[in-house]
């Protein structure tokens, strides 16, 4: 019996020692220690070479090293990383590997020959995206049957093969109301649309059902009340989106910037500086494995920047010469004619004297334009967020480009014929939608540029 007890004790002690040693080496391995002829040597970091799609080649300092997705141990320092895959644009970036930390590539590879698919065949006039990014309203004027001409809403989340086959007609043209001559403004919740006609008539239409001509009603006299309700709703939404941003950045956004747009994940802000100003360092405590890309904290008027509230990093995206803008926009707005309680509108700024602009302008067209620009940058500038919040879309007269939020990997996605006034992403990032007119005799149609 005593002999068995001794054996059990020896086994227990051996198992305990094994667990302790195993745990020790596991922790050391995770922290970057590796065995050498001199014993365990510290000072490696991890490169998580991941990409979408997977299975791409990973080059480190121009040497083919592995394929995605893989994790590689590297001595701390700077490395030139390239990720290549046949049929896709090469992704490249200089990354800094830090000891005991994991640096991820998060490389999205875009196709070199994206497919171009027509989404409409009878024309698409005045395409207007909804605030939630899931719908587009447009008009049709040249359908084979006159009853098919009118206003349509397409749900982008359904990922259709053809808008003509799945778009819902919500109103028909009538002798009194030709929707091809109207402009459209969505409600903040994407459930209603104001159709504004040249004769100053304004119809409020439901976006999720057919609106019979007998129910058309001019709501021009109700617009002040409608606008106030919409502005209040937008203010509440924006306040929620911005609650986690540093106070200094909110002050910059409301006092020293225009064309300000929050990323879909509410972690970043795209903005155009209007004043020279320097963003102080360490607005938030440092986070491990933050981006090591060069940032720009000295702002120049006219330049576009992205501020990342999660990592306290500010990146230059476009210079003043590269940006095209019209109009002016601010983040949160106060209506001086119909004051809204400060508790509902005010941002947590250090000063309550920030020059905040109202969405409600001096005229109905001006007000409608301000609401439209609140929903999407396409009405005021040539840059907008990509749905993943990691990229932005830049439109020029000759091409459609995509760039990472830190200013790297600008890639031309498409450079054929298109209308630069309308380029818009699918909510899942699988496609870009634009207007293309291949023949002078045909109306412009919506086309999808497939990215995935």
Q: What is the pTM of this model?
A: 0.85
Question: For residue 97, what pLDDT is reported?
Answer: 92
Q: What is the DSSP letter of 257?
A: E
Tens-of-pLDDT digits for all 452 residues of the chain? Answer: 566 666 666 776 777 777 777 776 666 665 556 554 445 555 688 999 999 999 999 999 999 999 998 999 999 999 999 999 999 999 999 999 988 889 999 999 999 999 998 888 888 999 999 999 999 999 998 877 888 899 999 888 755 444 445 688 999 999 999 999 999 999 999 999 999 999 899 999 999 999 999 989 999 999 999 999 998 898 888 888 888 899 999 889 888 898 899 999 999 999 999 999 999 999 999 888 889 899 999 999 999 999 999 999 999 999 998 887 655 555 544 444 444 444 443 443 333 333 456 788 888 998 998 899 888 889 888 999 999 999 999 999 999 999 999 999 999 999 989 999 999 999 999 999 999 998 888 889 999 999 98
Question: For residue 33, what pLDDT is reported?
Answer: 60
Question: For residue 326, what pLDDT is reported?
Answer: 55
- Give the span between the Cα atoms of 18 and 325, in whole angstroms: 66
Question: For residue 9, what pLDDT is reported?
Answer: 66
Contact 110, 413 (CB under 8 A): yes
Query: Which of 50, 84, 116 lies closest to 431 in space, CA to CA?
Result: 116
Q: What angle do CA 318, 324, 329 make, to 5 degrees?
A: 95
Directed axis angle between helix 364-375 and helix 223-241, to 10°? 20
Strand ranges in 319-420 using DSSP code E only, listed in sequence order: 383-385, 391-395, 400-404, 411-414
Contact 189, 133 (CB under 8 A): no
């Amino acid at each position: 019996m005593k002999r068995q007890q001794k054996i059990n004790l020896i086994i227990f002690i051996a198992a305990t020692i094994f667990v302790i040693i195993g745990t020790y080496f596991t922790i050391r391995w995770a922290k970057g220690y590796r065995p050498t002829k001199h014993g365990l040597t510290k000072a490696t970091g991890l490169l998580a070479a991941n990409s979408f799609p997977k299975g791409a080649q990973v080059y480190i300092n121009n040497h083919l090293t592995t394929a995605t997705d893989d994790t590689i141990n590297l001595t701390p320092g700077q490395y030139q990383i390239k990720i290549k895959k046949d049929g896709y644009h090469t992704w490249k970036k200089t990354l800094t590997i830090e000891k005991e930390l994991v640096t991820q590539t998060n490389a999205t590879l875009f196709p070199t020959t994206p497919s171009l698919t027509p989404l409409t065949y009878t024309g698409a006039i005045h395409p207007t995206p909804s605030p939630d990014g899931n719908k587009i309203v447009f008009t049709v004027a040249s359908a084979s049957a006159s009853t098919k001409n009118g206003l349509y809403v397409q749900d982008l989340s359904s990922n259709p093969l053809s808008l003509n086959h799945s778009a819902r007609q919500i109103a028909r043209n009538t002798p009194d109301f030709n929707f091809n001559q109207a402009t459209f403004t969505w409600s903040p919740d994407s459930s209603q649309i104001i159709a504004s006609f040249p004769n100053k008539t304004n119809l409020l239409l439901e976006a999720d059902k057919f609106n019979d001509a007998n129910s058309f009603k001019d709501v021009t006299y109700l617009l002040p009340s409608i606008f106030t309700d919409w502005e209040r709703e937008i203010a509440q939404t924006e306040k929620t989106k911005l609650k986690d941003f540093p106070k200094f950045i909110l002050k910059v956004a409301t006092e020293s910037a225009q064309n300000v747009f929050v990323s879909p994940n509410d972690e970043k802000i795209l903005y155009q500086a209007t004043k020279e100003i320097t963003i102080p360092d360490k607005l938030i405590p440092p986070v491990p494995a933050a981006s090591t890309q060069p940032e720009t904290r000295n702002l120049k008027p006219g330049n576009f920047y992205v501020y990342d509230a999660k990592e306290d990093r500010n990146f230059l995206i476009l210079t003043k010469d590269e940006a095209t803008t019209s109009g002016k926009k601010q983040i949160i707005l106060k209506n001086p004619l119909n004051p809204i309680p400060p508790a509902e509108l005010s941002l947590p700024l250090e000063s309550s004297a920030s020059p905040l602009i109202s969405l409600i302008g001096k005229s109905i067209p001006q007000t409608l334009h301000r609401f439209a620009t609140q929903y999407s940058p396409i009405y005021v500038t040539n840059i907008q967020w990509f749905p993943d919040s990691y990229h932005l879309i830049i439109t020029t007269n000759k091409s459609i480009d995509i760039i990472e939020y830190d200013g790297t990997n600008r890639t031309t996605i498409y450079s054929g014929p298109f209308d630069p006034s309308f380029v818009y992403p699918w909510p899942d990032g699988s496609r870009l939608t634009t207007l293309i007119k291949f023949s002078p005799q045909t109306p412009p149609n919506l086309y999808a540029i497939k990215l995935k």
